[in-house]
């Protein structure tokens, strides 16, 4: 393997990880600015900043892939925005959702009842706050994030590295780097002090499992819609499971 190929393998995920984190940080910056003028819509900041952030993030990604696709002659269908593959992919989505619902419920019960793990919502638990947050999870979370972590990262990486690996090695590489970037982007940093402000082991473990599934599903069927639905549904299940366990504790 020559030096140019090695540099592609090493630099491509680093550059994409920096790009992903930059989009994330910039989108939050703009969302916070917008929120300042409409904070009365969501005084407890339970869903509005996240919703604005994910909309801005999606717009930025669509612009990036449109420009990249134009330059590299890659159609929107190649980025996964198509009907084909959806019917086959959604079967796996439904199976995975069913299995994860069981895992989420049992593991949550064990963590709370046997290890006294607290249930943290991050906002005052009112009906309005929870429904707003749930709506964000099931309509926007995966819709935006799958454009970022699977559509942009996987398709651009494939374009850069298609002549570097054989098919099996490329699939393993793409699933791995998209999952690592997915996990990395859910770690928060204070860049002025170069310190980590948020890292949750259980969240990272969940992201690892989900990232592998989303990556495999997107690469196999090349369908954005199925992966976005899976992401939205699983995030909704996590939120509903937390509420259910919280209410059971109150009985």
Which residue ranges of the chain lie beneath pLDDT 70? Answer: 1, 191, 251
How far apart CA 79 and CA 65 sit, in angstroms, is 8
Pair 153, 20: CB distance under 8 Å: yes
DSSP SS3 for 21: helix
pLDDT of residue 1: 58
State the DSSP string of 192-206. TTTEEEE--HHHHHH
pLDDT of residue 188: 84
pLDDT of residue 163: 86
pLDDT of residue 238: 95
pLDDT of residue 195: 80
Percent of the chain with pLDDT over 90: 79
Q: How many C-beta atoms lie closer than 10 Å to residue 96's C-beta?
A: 18
Query: CB-hemisphere CA count at 13 Å for 146?
Result: 33
Domain boundaries, the chain: 3-250
pLDDT tens track for 92-145: 999 999 999 999 989 988 988 888 888 888 899 999 999 999 999 999 999 999
Q: Report residue 19: phi and psi, to 5°.
A: -65, -45
Pair 48, 132: CB distance under 8 Å: yes
């Amino acid at each position: 393997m020559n030096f140019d190929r090695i540099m592609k393998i090493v630099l491509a995920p680093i550059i994409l990880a920096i790009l992903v984190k930059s989009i994330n940080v910039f989108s939050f910056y703009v969302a916070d600015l917008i929120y300042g003028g409409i904070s009365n819509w969501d005084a407890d900041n339970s869903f509005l900043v996240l919703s604005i952030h994910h909309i801005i993030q999606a717009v930025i990604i669509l612009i990036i892939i449109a420009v990249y696709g134009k330059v590299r002659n890659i159609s929107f269908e190649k980025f996964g925005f198509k009907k084909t593959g959806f019917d086959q992919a959604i079967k796996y989505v439904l199976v995975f959702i069913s299995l994860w619902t069981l895992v989420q419920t049992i593991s949550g019960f064990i963590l709370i009842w046997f290890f006294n793990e607290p249930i943290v919502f991050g906002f005052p638990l009112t009906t309005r706050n929870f429904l707003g947050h749930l709506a964000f999870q099931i309509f926007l979370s995966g819709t935006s994030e799958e454009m970022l972590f699977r559509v942009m990262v996987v398709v651009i990486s494939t374009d850069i590295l298609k002549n570097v690996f054989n098919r099996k090695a490329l699939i393993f590489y793409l699933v791995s780097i998209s999952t690592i970037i997915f996990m990395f982007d859910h770690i928060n940093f204070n860049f002025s002090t170069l310190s980590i402000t948020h890292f949750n082991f259980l969240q990272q473990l969940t992201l690892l499992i989900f990232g592998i599934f989303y990556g495999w599903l997107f690469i196999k069927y090349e369908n954005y819609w199925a992966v976005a639905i899976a992401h939205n549904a699983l995030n909704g299940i996590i939120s509903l499971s937390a509420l259910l366990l919280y209410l059971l504790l109150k009985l």
